[in-house]
Amino acid sequence: MNYPSNKTGSTSRENNQGYNTPPFNGKFDPKWIELELNVESIKYTKDLAEYVQKDLTKSQIRNIFGEIRRIETLNADIRQVKFLLLLPKLAYSVAKSQKNLKPYRDEFEKWYDVVNEGVKDDTFGKRFDNFVNFFESFLAFHRVVAQKD
């Protein structure tokens, strides 16, 4: 993620209230989706949920998660094709938003790429299942954070 420098030379982004927010510095580990979730992956989803709380609405996240759940019900061949279409749907959602959601799309793309790599080595099913659980953790923490405000 590349952010313009502010007056102090550090990088930041402007949130929807016009305040500069430091960039998300959580470290995503592809092994969380390749192999299994762990304590660090859950902490990452919590930190990301707290970071995006002011900019991403519950309905925006639920729309993506709803599509993920629909994909989950399909047979394996169709699931891969429909999964590929998630990224263009997300890109459209980001483009029509009046907020700068590109940093969030960039985080999502990291997760997406790890699942997509599974097509090459027949681990797509396991990676997709881990991705669903990972995203569900993010959604749950986002709800909790939103309820606090």
What is the SS3 string spanning 85-101?
Answer: CHHHHHHHHHHHCCCCC
Amino acid 25: pLDDT: 81
How far apart are the C-alpha atoms of 106 and 87, rounded to whole Å? 11
How far apart are the C-alpha atoms of 116 and 28, rounded to whole Å? 16
What mean pLDDT is predicted for residues 17-44? 84
Question: Which residues are CB-contacts of 34 (< 8 A; sequence separation ≥ 6)?
Answer: 114, 117, 118, 123, 127, 130
Inter-CA distances, 97 with 59, 60, 74, 144, 148, Å = 13, 10, 29, 23, 24
pTM of the model as a whole: 0.81
Lowest mean pLDDT among 7-11, 61-65, 93-97, 125-129: 7-11
Amino acid 79: pLDDT: 95
Inter-CA distances, 53 with 59, 62, 71, Å = 12, 13, 25
How far apart are the C-alpha atoms of 137 and 131, rounded to whole Å? 10
How far apart are the C-alpha atoms of 35 and 14, rounded to whole Å? 35
What mean pLDDT is predicted for residues 81-105? 87
pLDDT band at 30 (very low <50, low <70, confident <90, very high): very high
Inter-CA distances, 8 with 3, 4, 5, 132, Å = 13, 11, 7, 39
What mean pLDDT is predicted for residues 97-121? 89
Amino acid 16: pLDDT: 46
What mean pLDDT is predicted for residues 20-26? 70
pLDDT band at 49 (very low <50, low <70, confident <90, very high): very high
